[in-house]
Chain A
């Protein structure tokens, strides 16, 4: 194994090499740094990295730990002490995290090295990473297309072998959708499975930290490290954490998978539909029983999501007032001018749009009509899933209605962008878990392969089961082995 071959390996492939002393944490880190230096100019996945600090950690890494010596990339909305945490916003430019998120403490306790921060839509608000105030991130499969979002930097880095694994966050699909569009595995744990302490809050009843990796097993390894109760987050559930990786490989015998009829709608790209149909047939051939189910309130999920998520965001982002941290407007005429201009100059367009919408739906006279009604419909959506999971072990669907779209294609039409989350955000509303993994390719008009994602949804705290199903699918197909080629691509246009 030469050094230049190391970045293409999965975490589960690196670990035995480390344990047999065939490679050192330092060599892995150096190989990764070389890979990032070679490709990130084209991709733009990273906002910052600290290889000097990481090298010190690599020297003393305990390789006997489950993730010992493995560098992990972190979405730049999760606090890593001493590193920047900009949320890809101008309002947090220059901010350095004074403490570690619990997920980071847990990764470190498992031996991993959080070495760099990845790009995202500002405050995780978006589905394409185009809302970053810092830079564009390009999809490694087609540089003229988005990597998905909001965890687009994490997804693109893993897809192009510029990260072995990454943490992301998923409020309405922000891990699963970029994983699908970038051809990798993404896991949104159940609400409360992973601590949100140290994650800069966007929508507190929906946000969840999860993993982006090359394989299902790698995600199970990361989940083993980060899941579990935390006294610093009272919404984090006090439930035992099974060994997700050890339980893989039992197969799909006696597994019942539900196919929600509302998810096979008009407007799904034909290549996505074909790939998902083929995947369902394949799951059936592996022994799973496929059952038609109904989630009758599916059509309302996007509306409910954008009312509740923006309402929560408008409250959470009130903390950016120019006093304790972040950007501050100069020479205010009075206090209102100070707040108003600090936030005008610090926030980008999508964040402003959502603060306005969220403030409106919470304002006097509209609260009952929008916010309260949306919470009630949320309850109906939650019951839909409860009833479906009484009949089946998990649900199967496309992750996204289309493959990666062109940079700039949806930026002028927020509603179209919001509809990119149509199959993912109900899962956040219901607090259940989900995983996306590669299940095929569409073709761009110039003939480039564009990855397609398959989603499994499981009931709350049933991560072990969706790992099991995803692993059985992955190990009996070849999709996860495909890698994008950058050599025949250059950046054209904007």
Chain B
């Protein structure tokens, strides 16, 4: 268990690919610090031997027949694209 919360909002924002203004960074640092401090009480509980629950109603291995079905046409898939050409999404340049 970690010690006192040592949240670094500016660093986490980089991980999240989310730019924040200086004002937002300062505000979130304070507000989320309080939320994490509140969550410190989880440390009180002995969780030795307790399985982690990813779902309230765990079910595993759901199968269905592998049958062809209707799916989006290229035009439907592109219908909300901010930029498109030649039936393709336009993305920013990623290699020089």
On A, residues with C-beta under 8 Å from B are: 94-96, 98-99, 190-192, 205-206, 231, 234-235, 237, 297, 299-300, 302-304, 306-307, 314, 318, 321-328, 332, 334-341, 343-344, 347, 349, 352-353, 355-357, 359-360, 363, 365-366, 368-370, 372-380, 382, 413-415, 418, 428-432, 460
Contacts and interface: CB of A to CB of B under 8 A. Distances in A.
Contacts of A235: 55, 59, 62
A34 B20 CA distance: 44
Interface of B: 1-2, 7, 9, 12-13, 15-21, 24, 28, 31-32, 34-36, 38-39, 41-43, 45, 47, 50-57, 59, 62, 64, 72, 76-77, 79-83, 89, 91-92, 94
15 contacts: A98-B77, A192-B59, A205-B55, A205-B56, A332-B92, A352-B18, A353-B28, A356-B9, A356-B18, A356-B32, A359-B16, A360-B32, A363-B12, A370-B2, A382-B56
A190 B57 contact: yes
B22 to A, nearest CB: 12
A300 B41 contact: yes
Contacts of A352: 18, 20, 24, 28
A325 B82 contact: yes
A60 to B, nearest CB: 23
Contacts of A365: 2
A340 B18 contact: yes
Contacts of B79: 96, 98
A415 B31 contact: yes
Output the residue of B2, B15, B41, B53 with the most chain A CB within 10 A. B53
Contacts of A430: 56
Contacts of B38: 302-303, 415
Given A237-B57, A324-B89, A374-B42, A360 B80 contact: no
B72 A98 contact: yes
A26 to B, nearest CB: 30
Contact of B45 (A98, A359, A377): A377
A382 B51 CA distance: 11
Nearest to A414: B31
B26 to A, nearest CB: 13
Contacts of B64: 231
Contacts of B94: 335
Nearest to B94: A335
B42 A380 contact: no
Given A356-B13, A370-B39, A341 B19 contact: yes
Contacts of A373: 1, 42-43, 47
A352 to B, nearest CB: 6
Contact of A338 (B59, B72, B92): B92
B33 to A, nearest CB: 10
A340 B82 contact: no
Nearest to B47: A376
B12 A205 contact: no
